Structure 1
């Protein structure tokens, strides 16, 4: 019997990808979750037994699922985030975790810039207004000369910083490693998080959660933000205290919040998503033709490396 590999990312179950199907040609049996849908815990518990490899997406993976995955040797993500995985449980079981380093960075960075323009120029509001028979005209703001705060200067954050500077913005960034991004000092500098929150016209998040799992933008930090600040989140929903964010949106301290990530996807509560100052997209940051190709190729290669070791 061929070794089984479970494939669960929605971008790959909706339509089988050649990079995944080539694993079949190499002697593996491919098991897909429900096409185009986020798999539930129960579905994963049904599918994962007898699988030696798992090409995983952003679906929540619980210790209960891993408990029945007795033959599992490796989980290969088609992205870089591992917040959805029970890391401690996997380490205890000796299951290898692999990521598609850098595969989605350009797609997510470009979406970030798109969300900045959407928020600064109220593009979704204008579009919806015209389609409903109106002619809304909201005075916008230009990016050139603005201060953009970038939290996290990994593969995505550094691309956002480069693009923002190319648009004429000034970037202040936080990253504990302070990598050399080879950007002009007249337009780029490092600072601490509180300083960035207080100074930035636009704040963009590209970092993991704090080690203790708490929010980065707490009620106290949001109180520091520049009046009318635009916040972009293409990283993780839990980076922001949602209740405090809603309060800040209501009183105008946060002028707009544009996000590609939610605690539940799709969100069951629309309190945040449907707020008039919120621009919401459906986790499409890495969902470009090019990003899917890169991520799938890397994730499949990672599976082969681990399973043939």
Structure 2
């Protein structure tokens, strides 16, 4: 049986996950292009494989229909906004994710984005490389008010890190872990309360195809003028035009984001903001995260076929 791996970071730090697939008897096909595959390329390479370990490519109905032998999609990560989940169900194709494998890496990155933007770290680095000595005034993360939207594994991990900064944490989710909320002094809040009161807002919720933006023009109008919005989840959680307008009009201080609207492209209108920080969807790309996600993704394939026999 053939297994296509579209993720370029899969087993890139430790070959164990790749070796497990080979030892299990599969013909393993690494990403043939060394980058994100477009629709035509994915259709060409997926057409006769039995399994795919999927990165962040779009797996739509057209691609799924081309995959005549496909039995399982092992998502290398957790985001499913680019996957037609319902059509996979209709076709009887198994879908798995690497739940919690990248939690700590993403949480570290989210807090890093807060600090990088608040303390003008990236901006100052750029300036010094261009021989410009400039000292922007920083925003304090210490004892600030941080709104955490989404208190799943990653959101909770962010809260734990913020605890050391003595932040006032406002948290929103559809359900609450009361013991956790009490232990880390998280104040259950509405989204509107978070918008109005927060110095930092960090997003840790999924973005499905039917999902309307969580942050739009109206939401931004409720925020502090010096708020920093952190997004290590999905770009579509924030309305693009509203975000550009807010940055242009200084309605917010900055966006610190790891996710983008048309990856791997970066929006030039957003890049004009000197206070903002942008990273290329690498929050989950730590050694520990890559190794764990690779093993989980490989074992999801191996275990699935074992169960079929």
User: Residues 34 and 14 of structure 1: is their aligned pair in 2 closer, same or farther, counting only changes over 3 Å?
Assistant: farther
Going from structure 1 to structure 2, the CA distance change for 1:70 and 1:186 (only over 3 Å counts) comes to: closer
Residue 237 (str. 1) matches residue 228 (str. 2): no
Instruction: Identify the residue that residue 29 of structure 1 maps to in structure 2.
Output: 27
Structural mapping, 1:5-154, within 5 Å: 5-12=3-10, 17-154=15-152
| Equivalences, count | 307
Change (3 A) 1:181 1:81: farther
1:66 Cα shift?
0.4
2:211 corresponds in structure 1 to 213
Deviation at 1:292, TM superposition (A): 0.2
Aligned-CA RMSD value: 1.7
**Structure 1 residue 90 displacement after superposition:** 0.6
Cross-structure match for 1:189: 187
User: Which secondary structure state, in structure 1, belongs to the residue aligned with residue 228 of structure 2?
Assistant: strand
Question: Which residues of structure 2 form unaligned runs of 5+?
Answer: none
Task: Report the Cα distance in structure 2 between the residues aligned to 1:31 and 1:186, rounded to whole angstroms.
Answer: 45
Deviation of the 1:48 alpha carbon: 0.9
Q: 1:308 to 1:114 in 2, by over 3 A?
A: same
Alpha-carbon deviation of 1:278? Answer: 2.1
Are 1:204 and 2:185 matched, yes or no?
A: no
Residue 303 (structure 1) aligns with: 301
Higher relative contact order (CA 8 A, sep 6+): 2
Cα contact 1:202–1:232 (8 A) shared by 2: yes
CA distance in 1, matches of 2:31, 2:248: 40
Distance in 1 separating the partners of 2:208 and 2:221: 19
Name segments (4+ residues, structure 1) moved above 6 Å: 13-16
Q: Distance in 2 between matches of 1:133 and 1:283?
A: 29
Deviations 1:178-237, CA, capped at 9 Å, x for gaps: 123524468311111111011100000000126732100011111111121000000000
For the 8 Å contact 2:258–2:280, the answer to whether it is kept is: yes
